[in-house]
């Protein structure tokens, strides 16, 4: 078992708990990402990553139902497919190629770009649906430390909103969320 497989299992489990805990009427609640509702948080994760994998590593994930028809099943099929990829011993020998990041071991690319995205969007889904919002503080600290030196690059990517000012004394989750443009 690789570290990336273990990390995904842990992070995806927390997101899955929020997906399964979402009341059917809450899927249309506004999410912290501008213009999104709760369902769009799942749509984002199920939508961008399969194309990223296919283009960069020739990997095709199983397709579940539409997020509009069944967000819980759509997430389950997608998440299980990513976990199966990471649990496959041959994945450690594969590479993902991308014009923005170059050649990266596939499991590391999944961990760095996708699992990190799932982790951050766990808070978005929890906030939108009124569920437990606490994230793992150690992972928050690790991500914040890794993102701080890349502030300009991250802002230019368009994937993060403007940094929100919070007191220096704020807990690490609040500082991470504020760094990526959320209003915790």
Q: Are residues 107 and 54 in the same domain?
A: yes
Query: Structural domain tally of the chain?
Result: 2
Lowest mean pLDDT among 23-27, 141-145, 156-160, 174-178: 156-160
Host domain of residue 177: 134-184
Position 181 scores a pLDDT of 92
Q: Are residues 89 and 40 in the same domain?
A: yes
Q: Are residues 73 and 100 in the same domain?
A: yes
Q: Are residues 67 and 37 in the same domain?
A: yes
Q: Could you give the CA distance from residue 136 to residue 83 in angstroms, rounded to a whole number? A: 20
Mean pLDDT along residues 176-183: 94
Output the average pLDDT for the chain.
95
Assigned domain for 125 exists: no
Q: Are residues 157 and 111 in the same domain?
A: no
Position 17 scores a pLDDT of 98
Segment 116-163, tens digit of pLDDT = 999 999 999 999 999 999 999 999 999 999 999 988 888 887 778 889
Q: Could you give the CA distance from residue 128 to residue 133 in angstroms, rounded to a whole number? A: 10
Picking from 165, 71, 175, 69, the residue whose alpha carbon sits closest to that of residue 123 is 175
Q: Are residues 138 and 182 in the same domain?
A: yes
Assigned domain for 128 exists: no
Assigned domain for 129 exists: no
Tokens, residue 104: 């990266």
Q: Are residues 23 and 110 in the same domain?
A: yes
Q: Are residues 141 and 184 in the same domain?
A: yes
Contacts of 4 (CB under 8 A, 6+ apart): 86, 107, 108, 110, 111, 115
Q: Are residues 116 and 172 in the same domain?
A: no
Q: Are 180 and 161 in contact (CB under 8 A)?
A: yes
158 to 162, 165, 180, 181: CA distances (angstroms): 10, 19, 11, 11
Mean pLDDT along residues 76-102: 94
Q: Are 141 and 173 in contact (CB under 8 A)?
A: no
């Amino acid at each position: 078992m690789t570290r990336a497989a273990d990390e995904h299992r842990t992070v995806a489990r927390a997101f899955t708990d929020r997906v399964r805990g979402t009341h059917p009427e809450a899927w249309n609640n506004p999410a912290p990402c501008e213009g999104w509702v709760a369902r769009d948080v799942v749509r984002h994760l199920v939508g961008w990553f399969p194309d990223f994998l296919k283009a960069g590593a020739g990997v095709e994930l199983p397709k579940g139902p539409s997020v509009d028809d069944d967000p819980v099943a759509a997430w389950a099929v997608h998440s299980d497919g990513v976990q199966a990829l990471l649990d496959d011993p041959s994945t450690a020998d594969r590479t993902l190629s991308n014009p923005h990041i170059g050649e990266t071991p596939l499991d590391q690319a999944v961990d760095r770009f996708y699992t990190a995205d799932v982790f951050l969007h766990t808070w978005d889904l929890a906030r939108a649906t009124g569920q437990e919002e606490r994230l793992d503080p150690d992972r928050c600290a690790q991500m914040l430390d890794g993102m701080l030196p890349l502030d300009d690059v991250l802002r230019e990517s368009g994937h993060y909103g403007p940094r929100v000012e919070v007191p220096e004394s704020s807990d690490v989750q609040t500082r991470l969320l504020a760094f990526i443009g959320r209003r915790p």
